[in-house]
Amino acid sequence: MEISSPVRFKDQNKILRHFKERIAVCCPKCGKRAEVFTNFTSYHSHFHCPNCFHQSDKRLVFFELVLKEYCKQCANRIMVEMPEVRHKKEAIKVRCSDCGCEESYKPTYIEHVGYSYSFNGVDPFFQLPLWYQASFKDELLWAYGPEHLLYLEQYIGARLRERNQRRYTTMVECLPQFIKAAKNRDVLLKLLERMKLK
């Protein structure tokens, strides 16, 4: 049975982040469908399974600690760099490598927002397997959720794909070649249809 699809697809200039606020994943406890909700204003991710009620929270903000001082005892140069700390401290104790004197110093913190950019079938926040994924030859077809599935379906099924005026690279421009290839259209659409019914 041939799956009906729109003849024309016009890029809506969406980037992958548009689909990251709500991601369907496999629960690590019960294996059933669960979700990861992410607030990109507070940079906070929340995992919740409605089946076994397992849940977890994660802050996506981390800090780079930098301390450049001189020892209060011998004036030796003290340098401390920690690439990733989760919480700020007013002061940290550091022992001078020259005279052995231990003193408290106020470090500087540089704020970063971080999460995984891996595309190997896991969510970028908790690294849990995506609920919507299927093998295609040696490739992996995946989606973060129903909205992402629909967008992929519209793109893959379209006979004519139009770009839109934009100032950045869109999600569909970054899709792997096996998704863009017209020869794979029918098989990929059937895979997406099966994924939607999960």
Q: Rounded CA gap, 136 and 131, in Å?
A: 16
- Across the range 93-120, mean pLDDT stands at 87
> What are the pLDDT digits (tens) for 107-123?
999 988 877 676 789 99
Residue 127 lies in a domain: yes
> What are the pLDDT digits (tens) for 27-75?
999 999 999 999 988 889 999 999 999 999 998 888 899 999 999 999 9
> 13 is in which domain, residue-wise?
8-60+116-196
Domain count, the chain: 2
Secondary structure (3-state) at 16: helix
Pair 22, 120 in one domain: yes
What pTM, to 2 d.p., does this model score? 0.74
Pair 108, 121 in one domain: no
| E-only strand ranges, 17-128 | 22-26, 33-39, 44-48, 55-59, 61-70, 77-85, 92-95, 102-105, 108-113
